Amino acid sequence: MRKGIPVSPGVAVGTAYCIHEIYVDPETPCLEDKEVTAELDHYEAARERAMADLRALQAKVESQVGHAEAAIFAVHESILRDATFSDKIRTWIAKERLTAQSALHRLINEYTSLFARTKDEYLRERLNDVRDVVLRLNGHLSQVTRRGTPQPVHGPLIIVADELLPSQVVALGNIEVKGIVTQAGSQTSHAAIIARSRGIPAVSGVPGILRHVNTGDTIIVDGRDGHVAINPDAETRSAYRKLEREFFHLKDELAANRDAPAVTADGVALQLQANINSLADAQAAKAMGAGGVGLFRTEYLYLTHPDVPDEEEQLKTYRAIIAATPAHEVTIRTLDIGGDKTVPYLGHTHKEANPFMGWRSIRLSFEHPELFLTQLRAILRAAAFARSKRGKVRILFPMITTLEEVHRIRKMVRRACQQLDKEHKDYVEADIGMMLEVPAAAISVDTLLHAVDFVSIGSNDLVQYLMAADRDNPKVSHLCQPLAPPVLRVLARVVEACVRAGKPLTLCGEMAAQPRAFVLLVGMGLRSFSMSPAFIPSMKDLASHVTVAQAGELLQRVLQLRTTHRIKRFMRDQLTRIAPSSNWLDTE
C-alpha cells in the first residue's frame, strides 16, 4: 500500500496500464534480415515528415507569434539532422535488428541517463528538446502498422503515469479509464482536473510508483484518502470491490437529480455550472444537469494543438462548445498558459525559478498582442453565435493583479471590435470579468470591481499564493488547503465586497466541489459555483439538505477555529449529521 495525494474521490479496482514516453511491447521480436531495409526506409520517411512538420511550425509561429519563439523548432530540426542522433538509430536497426520505435525507446533512455548525471541546468533543459523530437518521430512511426506494433489497449484500466498531460489524454482516445495514479502532480494538476471532470478516482504525488507497477498488474485506487495498493491479496481486493460498488451506486443515485433545480433546503436558488476543457466536457455538463459553463479553459486547445490555433479554428471550437452547453451560456477564459502548463511556441524554452509567479496568463498575452487579439476576435465572434441561440458568452481574464491591467484589457477588446467592424464580421461585445486568484487583487478588490462586469474566484491559485506553497510540490502540498483559516477569511471578505457592489460572483476553483467548503461558501453568501461536471449532481443533493441559515451558523463557528485540522474535523462531523452521503465526495 502506497500513499499519495487524494485528488478525485471514489474507489476503483482494475488493471494497470503504465504510460511511458514511448510504449514498446516487451514481446516485440527482433527484425528478420529481410525486414531491416524496410525498417530503415520507414525511419527515414518518418524523419523527413517530422522535419517537414518542424519547418511548417516554424513558419506559422514566426508569422503569428514572433521570430524568437519560432526558433525552438529550428533547434528541434537541427537535432533531427544531427548525424550522431540518427546514426545511433540506424545502427541499432541494422546491427541489433531493433524496430525503429524500439531504437527510439533505447535512445531516450540513454539520453535521460546521460543528462541526469550533469549539474548543468542548460544541458538538463536540452533533454526536453531531445524528448520532444523523439516523441514527434515516434508519432510518425506509429502511423504505419507493422510487425511489432502493440495492439490497442482496451479498458477498463487504471492509468499509471509520471504526470498525465493533455496530449496524453487525447492519445488515450476512447479507452475506458477507471482510475488514475501519477508520480507527480497535486490536487490541481492536469491529472486531477481530468479525473474530476470525468468523475474518476485518482491519486497523485505517489513517489516512484512506475518503478513498482507493471502494465497488467491489479491495482486499487482510493481517491478519498490517497491510498494505492499494488497486486493486493484476495481479501483486500474483495473489500475494495465492495466499496467500489457502493461508490458507483451512490453516483447513479445522485445522477437521477440532474433535471431538478439547484436549491437549498429553504428554497434559495443556486447556480451550479461546469468547468470544462473540451467539447466532451461540455456534453458531460449537459448530461449532469449543469446550468451552463462557468469556466471554459481555452489553454487545453493550445496544449493539444501542434502549433498556434488560428482564429477560424478557435471559432469553430467555441461554437461547438456553445452549441453543446445548457442554455448556450459559456464563460470563456483567455489563454492561461504558464506555471505548470507550457508550450514551446510561446517562448517557454527556459525554466523559470518561480513559474507560478512569473511570465504566465494575462502577462504572457500582453507580450503577444497579435496572439491575444486573435483569441479575442474569435471569442467576440462566438458571442454573436451564442446570441443567435439566445445564449450568452462572457470573457474571463486570468491572473489579474492591478487596475492598470484591466484598463489595458478593455483597450485590447476595443481594438478587436474595431478590427471586426472594419472587416464587417458579426460579433457581440461580451461582458468582461476578472479571475481573482492573486492576493493583491483580493486585498484591493473594492478598487477593481467598478472596472469589471463580473468576478470569478480561482481558488486553486489563490490558495497556493496565500499559503506560499507550490500546489504541485508534494513536500508542501499539505499547506494548500482551501479550509485553512486565512483562506476562508479572505474569501469571506471578497464575497462580501462583491455582494455589496452588486457584481456577479462565481467560484470556479476545485473547492466548489468539496462538500465541506461548499457549505461554508453558501454561508458566506456565494450563490454561483462552477465545478467539474461529474460533481454537479452531488453538490445539488448536498444543497438540498442545508439551509442558508445553517450554512451561515456553521461559517461563524468555523471562523472562530484556529487550525485547518479542527475546521476539517468539525465540518466532517457536521456533514455526517446533515448529509451523510457527502463524506464519499470529500478527500482528506
User: pLDDT tens digits for the chain (588 residues)?
Assistant: 899 888 888 899 999 988 765 656 556 788 988 899 999 999 999 999 989 888 888 887 777 777 766 777 888 889 899 888 899 999 999 999 999 988 988 888 787 777 766 666 556 667 767 877 887 888 788 764 343 333 445 567 899 988 776 556 655 656 788 999 988 776 666 667 778 877 889 998 888 888 888 888 999 999 988 899 999 999 999 999 998 888 887 777 777 777 889 999 999 999 999 999 888 889 889 988 999 999 999 988 887 776 788 999 999 999 999 999 989 999 999 999 876 566 655 655 456 666 667 778 899 899 889 999 999 999 999 999 999 999 999 999 999 999 999 999 999 999 999 999 999 999 999 999 999 999 999 999 999 999 999 999 999 899 999 999 877 676 787 888 999 999 999 999 999 999 999 999 999 988 999 999 999 999 999 999 999 888 899 899 999 999 999 999 999 999 999 999 999 999 999 999 998 877 666 666
Cβ atoms within 10 Å of 101's Cβ, excluding its own? 25
Q: How far, in Å, CA of 305 to CA of 300, rounded? A: 8
CB 16 within 8 A of CB 160: yes
Provide DSSP, 95-153. HH---HHHHHHHHHHHHHHHHHT---HHHHHHHHHHHHHHHHHHHHHTTS--TTPPPPP
pLDDT of amino acid 350: 52
pLDDT of amino acid 150: 39
- Active site amino acids: 190, 508
| Fold exhibited by the domain 270-585 | TIM Barrel (3.20.20)
pLDDT of amino acid 477: 75
Identify the CATH assignment for 2-22+151-252 out of 3.40.309.10, 3.30.70.640, 3.50.30.10, 3.30.110.40: 3.50.30.10
Q: How far, in Å, CA of 53 to CA of 51, rounded? A: 5
Q: Where are the beta strands (DSSP E) in 234-328?
A: 271-276, 293-297
Q: Which amino acid is at 14?
A: G
Residue that is written with C-alpha cell 502577462 in the block: 363
Q: How far, in Å, CA of 207 to CA of 569, rounded? A: 28
| Fold exhibited by the domain 33-141 | Enzyme I; Chain A, domain 2 (1.10.274)
Q: What's the predicted TM-score (pTM) here? A: 0.78
pLDDT of amino acid 145: 39
Q: How far, in Å, CA of 122 to CA of 113, rounded? A: 16
Q: What are phi and psi of 493, to 5 degrees?
A: -70, -40
Q: Do domains 33-141 and 270-585 have the same CATH topology?
A: no
How far is C-alpha 135 from the geometric centre of its chain's CA atoms? Answer: 21
**Residue spans per domain, the chain:** 2-22+151-252, 33-141, 270-585
Cβ partners under 8 Å of residue 312, min gap 6: 378
- Please state, in angstroms and as integers, the Cα–Cα distance from residue 524 to each residue in 146, 257, 498, 519, following that order: 61, 25, 11, 9
Q: Which amino acid is at 192?
A: A
CB 467 within 8 A of CB 484: yes
Positive or negative CA dihedral for 536, 537, 542, 543?
positive
pLDDT of amino acid 146: 40
Q: How far, in Å, CA of 239 to CA of 11, rounded? A: 11
pLDDT of amino acid 152: 47
